[in-house]
Amino acid sequence: MLHDDTGTRRDLVLYRIEAAKEDLKSAALLRDAGMYKGANNRAYYAVFHAINAIHGLNGVAYRRHKDAVANFNKEYVRTEIFPREIGRKIASVEEIRHASDYDDFYIATMDEVDEQIAVAEKFIQMVEEYCRQHMNDTEA
């Protein structure tokens, strides 16, 4: 049976926000299990899916992470739609995720994971608020 995979931009945005929230929950579960590298990974993906929710307002998708993040920084951080501080925090989340995933001897700590999760949680809240305010503009 074929699934109807068409939907509105609103559907896309809400789906991406839900994916971000699921990744955030996974990050917390992994942290609680003492799996800090995995928690850093999931916290990053929570941020990444939230960024993609913003792009979904315009019906945009990027194949590469760096393109999605770069465009978010260009369109939303440099223009101060989102504060510059969040741009710096996103860069840090991405850097720590990369180290956690690829550096053999990287030691992730619970304090670091707590910070990653806090950044992801705050950013998701910001994205939800922004999307709620701009959702009517994108009904298509």
| Residue 118 within any structural domain of the chain | yes
pLDDT band of residue 7 (cuts 50, 70, 90) is confident
φ/ψ (deg, to 5) at 120: -60, -45
pLDDT tens, position by position, 16-31: 999 999 999 999 999 9
Does 116 score more than 60 pLDDT? yes
| Residue 43 within any structural domain of the chain | yes
pLDDT for 138 equals 47
Place of tokens 């304090």: 111
| pLDDT above 70 as % of the chain | 92
* Domain range for 90: 9-138
| Residue 71 within any structural domain of the chain | yes
Write out the two tokens for 55: 């792009």
| Residue 62 within any structural domain of the chain | yes
pLDDT for 104 equals 94
Provide the number of structural domains found in the chain. Answer: 1
pTM across the whole model: 0.91
| Residue 4 within any structural domain of the chain | no
CB atoms within 10 A of CB 115: 17
Residue 42's domain is classified under what CATH number? 1.20.120.330
Average pLDDT over residues 6-16: 91
| Residue 1 within any structural domain of the chain | no
Helix (H/G/I), strand (E/B), else coil: 6? coil
| Residue 85 within any structural domain of the chain | yes
| Residue 3 within any structural domain of the chain | no
Write out the two tokens for 37: 């590298």
pLDDT for 5 equals 60
pLDDT band of residue 135 (cuts 50, 70, 90) is confident
pLDDT tens, position by position, 60-103: 999 899 999 999 999 999 999 999 999 999 999 999 999 999 99
Higher pLDDT, 4 or 61: 61
Does 40 score more than 60 pLDDT? yes
Average pLDDT over residues 44-71: 95
